[in-house]
Amino acid sequence: MKELFWIAYRLLFSRRTLFGGSAVFSLVGLILGVGALVASMAVMSGFESTLRSAMADMTGHVQLVKRSTFQEPWKELENKIRKQEPTLVSSVRYLRTEAVLAHQGVIQGVMVQGIDEEHAQDVLDFSSRLVDGSLDLKTPPGTKTPALIGKRIAQRVGLKVGDSFRVVIPIPDAIDPGRFQRRIAEFQVRGILDMGKTEWNERMIISPLKAAQDLVQIGDRYSGLLIKFKDINYARTAAFNLSQSLGPNYWVSDWRDLNENLFEAVKIERVVIFFVVLIIIIVAAFNVSSTLFVNVVQRYADIAILKTLGLPQKSILKMFSLQGLLMGGFGLAVGTLFGLLLCVGFSVLQKTLGLLSGSVYRVDSIQVEVRFVDWIFIALATMVICFVATLAPALRGSKLNPVEGLKYG
């Protein structure tokens, strides 16, 4: 086998074969196809991972909400969850309400999310999202209530770390539900976050739980729990189990439920893009096949001499098949490097030019991710296509009559 490989290598990497005619263009086509496939899969995988990371960092793995606001002690509820799901890491209380932000004549609808600041770090990961300022939500006596805001709120309203702003919410009158009382709270920007999703960056304000409760005037009640498990991929199973055990008074959702349609669309688009771009590799592989056909014709005399020396037909077939696999392997290796360069270029361009529209894609930027599993599928598809494409010229070379080969050589 080593001898066949050596002969195939010497016949392929010669001036007459690889560095002459259309062989170079065939390899370039193969490299471009592999590179495009690597880059497209990396972008799609990165989009999915970016969205998943944002959901886990900002809302935990599972959200548990009661049909009416909670009054029961949350630690008792957490212990109840832990008995059923031992992989529970921790949970944190939260309260979410709609409001209006007012600052220097600018008004914008926002969503205030109060978080129990003492336990937030056990479930949520704000540290990786911090753009400016700090994450400290503690309120020392005599200071303004701290808040963390999305980066787009800061840009639109013109807020910086240390600036104060007001939030207004309407409270229904206890006597006349048709009338509303205006509740105003003043916050100070403690930190600016890139929350991962455009709508959160545009609307979400993170505040201490007590401040949000005072704003809504609901005492010590809260909307629900944000829950974290050891494995994010177990979240859907855990959410289903909790929903079954807690009953209809509770609404349980995992990180994927909140964007189910978007994740399903990404899954379908990954498959479609894979096969569409794979057509480039198929075309390039058959260009490789035509190159090898020419190589067989040019090597009639060499093939005839090898057969005269006793090399069997099966070995000739293997030799030309190895040439196709060598070209496929070379195209795969260089194409992978080219795809990685495309990924780097995409990352640079999206930072400098803002390629993604947040209103369309839900995210402002994508952390490109090259998954080894995706590359394995690309490598297998490339090598199988190249092998199939080279069977015809390999069979043609193996069936050559030595007398005919010496005659035309």
Q: What is the pLDDT of residue 388?
A: 80
254, containing H or E segment: strand 250-254
Instruction: Indicate left, alpha or beta for 362 from its phi (over 0: left) and psi (-120 to 50: alpha).
Output: left
Q: What is the pLDDT of residue 136?
A: 86
CA atoms of 54 and 197, how far apart (whole Å): 7
Q: What is the pLDDT of residue 71?
A: 63
Who's near 3: CB < 8 A, 6+ residues apart? none
Among 17, 35, 24, smallest CA distance to 323 is for 17
**Hey, where are the domains in the chain?**
2-53+262-408, 89-226
Both tokens of residue 19? 């560095």
Say if residues 187 and 146 touch (Cβ distance below 8 Å). yes
> Which DSSP category does 252 fall into?
E
Across 84-150, the runs of DSSP E, i.e. the strands, are 88-103, 106-115, 130-133, 145-150
Q: What is the pLDDT of residue 402?
A: 55
pLDDT by position in tens, the chain (length 409): 555 555 555 555 555 555 455 667 778 888 898 999 999 999 888 888 888 888 888 889 999 987 766 566 778 888 888 888 899 999 999 999 889 888 887 888 899 999 998 888 889 988 888 999 898 888 877 778 899 999 889 988 889 998 999 998 877 766 666 677 788 888 999 999 988 888 888 889 999 999 998 888 888 888 889 999 999 889 889 998 888 888 888 889 988 887 777 788 888 888 888 888 888 888 888 777 776 666 665 555 556 555 565 556 666 666 667 777 777 888 899 999 999 999 998 888 877 776 665 555 567 778 888 889 989 999 998 888 888 877 766 666 556 555 554 454 5
Q: What is the pLDDT of residue 184?
A: 86
Q: What is the pLDDT of residue 4?
A: 55
Q: How many CB atoms lie within 10 A of CB 313?
A: 13
CA atoms of 86 and 281, how far apart (whole Å): 48
Among 327, 334, 336, 346, smallest CA distance to 385 is for 327
Q: How many CB atoms lie within 10 A of CB 43?
A: 21
Both tokens of residue 368? 């490109």
Q: What is the pLDDT of residue 1?
A: 55
Both tokens of residue 240? 């289903």
